[in-house]
Amino acid sequence: MTGSATPGQAPDLFDAETQTLLAARTAHAACTHPGQDACGQALGDLVLAYERLLRETRRLVRRSDRAELEMTRMNAQLQELAAELEHRANHDPLTGVLNRAAIIELVNRHFGREDLALVVLDIDHFKRINDSFGHPMGDQVILGVVACLQAVVPPTAHVGRVGGEEFTVVLPQQDASASHRVAEALRQAIESHPFDLPDGSGVTASFGVCWAPAGSDFDSAYGLADEALYVAKRGGRNQVRVSATALQPFEHVV
């Protein structure tokens, strides 16, 4: 019998030690001549001690392997937890889109290297929906609006919820004309969406659009888009208005 692995088995880490132990056992068995008792006794004791040491080492290696597997499993769980916590920190819990802080960080990061358009929209008469039909129905309306936005925006766009019924759509590398067309498509998608309110009424939203060049910042662009949104609100709602003010590169609105 040897310590070598048979076909299909993993190699024995202690193959050399096992071979040495087998050789010692053979030598001990040969110690049967007169005058070799002391030598045989010493060799026998050494064999027993070596066997115990080898068994203990194997046990420690198995324990180490189990600990390594457990550490690998725990590390994977920690990575999943970290990813989940990061997602929760950056996303709105109801809709799953980016939250206000994440949108601000995203917009400022984009402005560091490129132009972009910012669309701000607000659900019309949302307080009436909550007051008349309850907050669960209001939540369903919000989810329906987000579904409309996600179905229409281009692949490079980002959707965020910046308030209770207020949303922002970030459109990188879009000029004012293109962003106006996107906003109008969003408005039409919401207007035609079946929200199934108890009274059969529909849902609409008002939009404000601002284009800004690289070097701008969120507060400046958002301020202009928000002003355009309120023009749409005062003009009768369910419409898109584009900011008449254009930000200049590296110039901020005060």
Q: Would you say 5 and 12 are in contact if contact means Cβ atoms under 8 Å apart?
A: yes
Active-site residue identified among 17, 80, 165, 184: 165
Cα–Cα distance, 114 to 108 (Å, whole number): 10
Nearest alpha-carbon partner for 54 in 9, 21, 6: 21
Cα–Cα distance, 126 to 199 (Å, whole number): 14
For the question of residue 17 being annotated catalytic, the response is no
Q: Read off the tokens for 195.
A: 């929200």
- Looking at residue 33, what DSSP letter applies? S
Q: Would you say 202 and 237 are in contact if contact means Cβ atoms under 8 Å apart?
A: no
Nearest alpha-carbon partner for 140 in 187, 198, 90: 198
Catalytic residues: 165
